[in-house]
Structure 1
Amino acid sequence: MHAIAFFDTEIGRCGIAWSERGVIGLNLPERSEAATRTRLLRHCPTADEIEPPKHIQRAIDDIAALMRGEKKSLRAIQLDMRRVNEFNARVYETTRAIPPGATRTYGEIARAIGDPDGARAVGQALGRNPFPIVVPCHRVVGANDKLVGFSANGGIRTKLKMLKIEGWRENEPSLFEELA
């Protein structure tokens, strides 16, 4: 069984897809809800839109709370990674450990999974992340905290907005003004 639901956050209307094993996909807002739906259905083309069961509703509530600036951990959300290769799964699990308001570099993630030369591969894995927010790829930055690469609608502006909501570098308003 695969199902989907949509929900509102501070960054817009998101979508979530799940199976009996857990979340199989999450989509950040696209230009329209129809575009978000289309992208979400790539994870599960035969899914029905239904009322989320309690554990998925709890995940939705926690994601929305995090996007309101609450210091929520999303580590308890069960992910169904059957369609994710082993390397990407290691990247995603390591990335999930980054707390709200903090960042790590692609190189730090690569070293943490035992591939010190794998920063580019980490970036590619995060570019295909089917679980954004839950696997907080927005918290991964380039060397010297450079904001690079973000495949979601809005690109780096969306990444910066999410980091700002989480309180990242609040004492450096110039970073936020640059992209405003």
Structure 2
Amino acid sequence: MRTVVDSAQRYFGGERVDFSAVEIDLGEQEPLFERIYAFVRALGYGETTTYGAIAKALGEEPQVARIVGEAMSRNPVPLIVPCHRVTAAGGKIGGFSAPGGSHSKAHMLALEGVVPPSDGQAGFGF
């Protein structure tokens, strides 16, 4: 079995890699954060959703989208819990806590075949 580092190198080399089976210990988390991280870990390669859609899918009120964003900003393993696949409403890329910020997020999405909005609106920024 390849190590996570080898898998990450393959991912950034353009290979389709699934990190959902990688065992992680996020330490003690708020119960809602645990649910959010579990939901995001289930997102497949190239699959995106929004902060608000996660809140709704978890049966929460729309304002919980801010808490989803907070959970993503505190995500200690951004590639393993693929928060780059969570975007803001309207096709905007949103924030990203990993080095490189939103530019890294846009690059990771592009690796996965996610294209920016074609309507000329402010979006992914590439």
TM-score range, shorter chain: 0.7 to 0.9
Alignment partner of 2:59 out of 111, 114, 118: 114
Aligned pairs for 1:56-135 (under 5 A) are 58-117=3-62, 118-135=64-81
Amino acid in structure 2 at the alignment position of 1:122: V
Post-superposition offset of 1:171: 9.3
Name which of structure 1's ranges 88-97 and 151-160 shifts more when overlaid on structure 2: 151-160
Measure, in 2, the Cα distance between the counterparts of 1:163 and 1:120: 22
Unpaired segments of 5 or more residues in structure 1?
1-53
| Cα distance in 2 between the residues matched to 1:141 and 1:170 | 11
Residue type matched to 2:8 in 1? I
Identity of aligned residues (%): 38
Deviation at 1:82, TM superposition (A): 2.6
TM-score (norm 1): 0.60
List per-residue Cα deviations over 1:132-153 (Å, max 9, x = no partner). Answer: 1100111100112211111223
Per-residue CA distance 1:105-128 (angstroms, 9 max, x = gap)? 001111122213210100001000
- Sort the Cα spacing of 1:70 and 1:116 in 2 relative to 1 into closer, same or farther, 3 A: farther
Counterpart amino acid of residue 159 in structure 1:
K
What is the distance in 2 between the residues matched to 1:110 and 1:100?
Answer: 20
Secondary structure of 2:47's aligned partner? coil
How many residue pairs match? The answer is: 122
Structure with greater Cα Rg: 1
TM-score by length of 2: 0.83
Larger proportion of helix: 2
**1:80, CA displacement in angstroms?**
0.9
Q: Mapping of 1:12-23 within 5 angstroms?
A: none
RMSD: 2.3
